Structure 1
Amino acid sequence: MRVMRDGDGPDERIVLDTGVLRLTAAPGLGGRVLSLRLAGREFLYRNPRLLDADLQARPGVRLGPVEGPMSAWNNVGGDKTWPAPQGWNGPGEWAGPPDPVLDSGAYAARVDTAPEGAAVLTMTSGEDPRTGLWLRRRVSVAPGASGYRMELEAVNTSDTVRTWALWNVTQLDGEAPADRTGGVYVDVSGDGPHTVPLVAGDATPSVVEHAPGVLRVPAQDVVGKVGFPTAAGRISHVSGAGTLTQTFTPVDGRYPDEGSRAEVWLECPLERPLAHLGGLRPVDRVVECEVLGPLTDLAPGAGMSLAVGVELAAPHA
C-alpha cells in the first residue's frame, strides 16, 4: 500500500494506491474522491475544463468555496457527500450545489494505518451554518484491493433539531460502451412502484426491466433524475472503463425525494441553460449514482451515519 500526499488547500491531493486500485482524493475541494483508476482506466467523471490529466487546476482556473445559483457551480466531478433533501424553498432543504462549506469548502484530512495494513483517509468538513451540520467521510482501502469502504457521518452542530439525510453522489463518465450494455443497474425488491420521476431537465430518464429484481437505466441523452424507493442495496454503473458497484444496507424509515433510497441523474450537452434548474447548462455526458440514508431528526449534538461499499471491475473480455 502506497500513500502519497502533495500540495495544499484546493490543490492538495492524497493518493491511496493498493497496487490494483489508485484512489485520489481532494480534501480541499469538498472532501471529494476525485479519481478512481483500475488497470489504468478512469471510472469517475472529472471536468476537463477545470482539471487537467494530472488532476490539477488548469491555468487561469481558481477553485475553492463558491455559492450562488447552479450556473456558478464549479463541478469538478468525483464522488462527494451532500445533505438531502435538495431544494430552495426553505431552511429544511439544502440549497446547493454550489455550497461554500460542504460541497466546495476545505475538509481537514488525516491518513491512518489500520492494524491489518489498510489505509484510512478521514476528511472532515467545517461547520455549515445553513444546514447546521458538519460532514465526515472515512475511506478505508486494503492492500491489493480493487475496492474500498466509505463510512459517512453527519453531526448537528446547531442548537435546534435539524432533519436531514446523508446523500452520497458519485459522478461517472456517461459515454456508453460500444456493446450497448452501458447504463445503471439497480436491484429492487418488494412491491412497487419501483421508480419515481424526480427531475425533468429536458425529460425524465427511461427505465427498463433488465431481469427479475433488477432495473436498468440505459445510456441516453437526457437531463433528468429518477428515484428508486425499493432499492435493495446494490447499484452498478457499466461503462467503457468497466463496472463500478456500490452496496449499502437500506433501513426502514422516511427517505427524501418520495422515498428514494437510490437515485440516478443523467446529463448530456445542451445548447441552452435550463432556467428552471438555476441556469444549469450541462456540457458533458455524466451519470450520477446516488445512495441515500433515511431522513433523521437530529437533536443538537446528535449524528447519523451511512456505509457504502465500492467495488471496481475491468470490462468483460
Structure 2
Amino acid sequence: MKLTFVPQLGGRLMQVSFNGHPYLFVNQVYKGKYISPAEAAGRWINYGGDKIWPLPEGNDDEQHWTGASTPLDDGAYAFSILSQNNRCTVRLEGPPDPPTGLQYTREISIGSDSPEIFFHAITRNITGHSIAWSVQSVSQYDLSDASNPNHYNHDFWAYAPLNPRSSYLNGYHVRDGLANDPSFSVRDGLFRLNWRYLENEVWLDSTAGWIALVDGATHYAMVEKTRYIEGADYPDKASVIFYKNGPTVQLNAQGMPYLTSKNLEETPYYMEAELNSPMAVLAPGETYAMDSYWFPSRMSPDLKTVTDAGLVGRPLAAKNSAGKLELSGSFGVFFPGALKAYLYDEGGAETGEVSLQSVQPQDPVQLSQTITTTKSVARVSVHLIDSSGLDRGALGEVVVTGRDEGR
C-alpha cells in the first residue's frame, strides 16, 4: 500500500497504489509543476488526485465557492508526520482562505493490518462571523486504458445505492449533461455508471453511506464510505456526486451545436467520485470534522452490494446435496483473515461453525466449498474473521436450499 502526497498542491493525496495498481488520475499537463493562485488568475488548475472542497459551488453570492484556484485548492499545505508505528498518520494543514472564511486540515492514516485508509477532514471558521459550508471529498479516478492511454477504459464502473424515498426523479438527478446519458442505469436498487467519454454530473441522495468504483479490466475496486446523517441538510439534498469529464455539446455564436474539445490535454479521461457532508454552520473559531474511509479490494463489475466485511459479487448460496452443504459465492474483502461459516437450525439456534478459506484484499475471493454437517442446517452466514481474530461482519446470510434431498 503506497500513498503519495504533494502538500504544495492544495494538500493533495496525489496517488493511491494498492498491490501495484494505481487508482487516481494524475494530470500529465501539470506533473512536476506548481501554479500559484495568483498565477492562475481565476483559472482552475486541475492537478488530479484527491482533495477536499467546499459546497455549494457557484458564483451566486458569498455563500457559494467559485471553484477557481484559491488557497483551499492550490495553496501550500504544511505536512507533518503524527505517527509511524502500527498506524501511520500524516497531517496536511492548509492556509486560511479569506473568500470562504475556511481553513482546511486533513489527517490521513493507514494501518499495518489492512489497506484501509482513514481520512479525518477538519474545517475551521477563521472569520469573526458565522458561516455555513458542506465539506466534499473529491477523488479523481484515472479512466485511461492501461494498455493504450490514448483510449479510455470502457469497463470502468461506479455504484451507489439508491434512496428508496429519493427526492429525485428515478432516484438520481442529472445536474449537467445529457439526461439520457447511456452511462447511467439502475438495477437491483443500485445506481450504476459505466463510464463514457461525455461530460456529465449526476447527484444522488443516497443514504447508504458508501460508493464503489470497479475497474472491470483489472478487477481492482475501491469502496469509499462515510456516515450518512439522517435528517441533516445536505447541499441540494445530494450526499453523493459523480462527475464525468469529457466533451459536451454547446452552441456557437450562430446558435449551431458543436462538440467541445476531445484533445486529451484539455479534456483528459477521469471521473470524480464525491462524498458530501451535511451543511455545517460554524461560529467564529468553530470546527467541523468529516470522517471517511477507503477500502481497496478486488471485484468484477458484477457487484451486488457492500457490507462491513467487503464487496459482494455473486451472492452467497448454500445448497444441501446428499447430506453435505455446498457453499458458493464471489467476494472482495477489506481485511486479511479467513472466512467462517456459522450454521443455524430452523429454530434459529446455532448448530456449529466451520472455518473456510484464508482470504486477503489483494485477491478476488471465489468461494466453492463443501462441508459435512451432522445436524439439520436451515440457514448459513459467512463472516470475515480478520488476522487478529476480530469478526468483521457477514459477507452473506442465506437459507439452505435442497434440504429435503438429504433426508
TM range (shorter): 0.7 to 0.9
Match of 1:5 in 2: none
* Change beyond 3 A, Cα 1:271–1:254: closer
* Change beyond 3 A, Cα 1:231–1:45: farther
Aligned equivalents of 1:111 and 1:139: distance in 2? 10
Number of positions where the alignment pairs a residue of Structure 1 with one of Structure 2:
279
Aligned equivalents of 1:274 and 1:35: distance in 2? 38
Flag the structure with higher strand content: 2
Aligned equivalents of 1:271 and 1:225: distance in 2? 14
The alpha-carbon deviation at position 97 of structure 1 amounts to 3.1
Match of 1:250 in 2: 228
Aligned equivalents of 2:66 and 2:80: distance in 1? 29
Aligned equivalents of 1:305 and 1:37: distance in 2? 26
Letter in 1 for 2:271: V
Aligned equivalents of 1:189 and 1:141: distance in 2? 31
Deviations 1:107-134 (A, max 9, x none): 11111216x6211111111111000010
* Change beyond 3 A, Cα 1:133–1:208: same
Aligned equivalents of 1:261 and 1:270: distance in 2? 25
Aligned equivalents of 1:124 and 1:65: distance in 2? 17
Letter in 2 for 1:64: S
Match of 2:80 in 1: 110
Q: What residue ranges of structure 1 are gaps of 5+ in the alignment?
A: 1-20, 52-56
TM-score by length of 1: 0.80
Aligned equivalents of 2:282 and 2:251: distance in 1? 37
Q: In the alignment, is residue 43 of structure 1 matched against residue 43 of structure 2?
A: no
Match of 1:28 in 2: 8
Match of 2:57 in 1: 86
Aligned equivalents of 2:267 and 2:60: distance in 1? 27
1:203-242 equivalences in 2 (<5 Å): 205=181, 206-212=183-189, 214-239=190-215, 240=217, 242=220
Contact kept? 1:133, 1:157, Cα under 8 Å: yes
The worse-fitting range, judged by mean Cα deviation, of 180-189 and 116-125 is: 180-189
Give the match's secondary structure for 2:37: coil
Match of 1:184 in 2: 158
Q: Kindly, what percent of the aligned residue pairs are identical?
A: 22
Q: What residue ranges of structure 2 are gaps of 5+ in the alignment?
A: 147-151, 254-259, 301-363, 365-407
Match of 1:124 in 2: 93
Q: In the alignment, is residue 64 of structure 1 matched against residue 36 of structure 2?
A: yes
Match of 1:263 in 2: 241
* Change beyond 3 A, Cα 1:80–1:136: same
Deviations 1:244-277 (A, max 9, x none): 1101111131111x210010000125699999xx
Contact kept? 2:6, 2:13, Cα under 8 Å: yes
Q: Which has the higher contact order (CA 8 A, sep 6+)?
A: 1
The alpha-carbon deviation at position 137 of structure 1 amounts to 0.8
Aligned equivalents of 2:153 and 2:268: distance in 1? 21
Give the match's secondary structure for 1:135: strand
Aligned equivalents of 1:175 and 1:228: distance in 2? 25
Contact kept? 2:56, 2:133, Cα under 8 Å: yes
Aligned equivalents of 2:179 and 2:221: distance in 1? 26
Aligned equivalents of 2:130 and 2:74: distance in 1? 25
The alpha-carbon deviation at position 73 of structure 1 amounts to 2.3
Letter in 1 for 2:36: G
Aligned equivalents of 1:174 and 1:274: distance in 2? 29
Q: Alpha carbon RMSD of aligned pairs, Å?
A: 2.8
